[in-house]
Amino acid sequence: MTPDRPARTIAPSLVLVNTGDGKGKSTAAFGVMLRALARGWRVAVVQFIKSDRWKVGEETMGLRLGVDWLKGGDGFTWLSNDLGESAGRAAAAWELAAATIAAGEHKLVVLDEITYAINYGWIDGAQVAAGIRARPEHVSIVATGRRAPQALLDVADTVTEMVKVRHAYDRGIRARRGIDY
């Protein structure tokens, strides 16, 4: 053991936060989802932005592989015609996510794009952090979204910031099936 590295242990679970303006936050979370499934873990995904109308590839494959999947959002919330409904959907999604985490039936719970719901004030970041802290010891969490609030960063074991160097969307190129969804 070198003096600058702590002794290694195996944690019963981890909390990962994927944040930043770069592409890949959810993509990385779904990579973790696949790893967990390959190990026989029960997995749940709660999406805080994507709506029931969206048909995304990761959901299609996740459902085929037995992932418990909930879309709690109503699309791009910043374009919503009814922000009250958006807030209500986010609060309901967090209630379901919190209950799923607390129940301990899943070894991995992905909270996809949860930072938006926190940053818009639709759910309380301190409550989210408390729910994650109080999770059963075998439940790992992956939370995604831009501008992760401090409460979420503080509860995380690993924080990765995706940095945008260039994005096709900025040049007018629309999201592409198979790449972006």
Point out the least confidently predicted range of 14-18, 65-69, 71-75, 128-132.
71-75
Q: Which of left, alpha, beta for 142 (phi over 0: left; psi -120 to 50: alpha)?
A: beta
Mean pLDDT of the region 113-126? 96
pLDDT confidence bin for 72, thresholds 50/70/90 = confident
pLDDT confidence bin for 69, thresholds 50/70/90 = very high
Assigned architecture for domain 15-160? 3-Layer(aba) Sandwich (3.40)
What is the rounded end-to-end Cα distance, in angstroms, of the chain?
Answer: 44
pLDDT at 2: 60
pLDDT at 180: 83
pTM: 0.90
pLDDT at 161: 98
Over the chain, what is the mean pLDDT? 90
pLDDT at 70: 86
Could you state, in order of their start, the residue ranges of all structural domains in the chain? 15-160
Q: Is the per-residue pLDDT at 79 higher than 70?
A: no
Query: Which residues partner with 68 through β-bridges?
Result: 44
Q: Is the per-residue pLDDT at 78 higher than 80?
A: no
d(CA 163, CA 74): 26
Count, residues in the chain: 181
d(CA 57, CA 49): 15
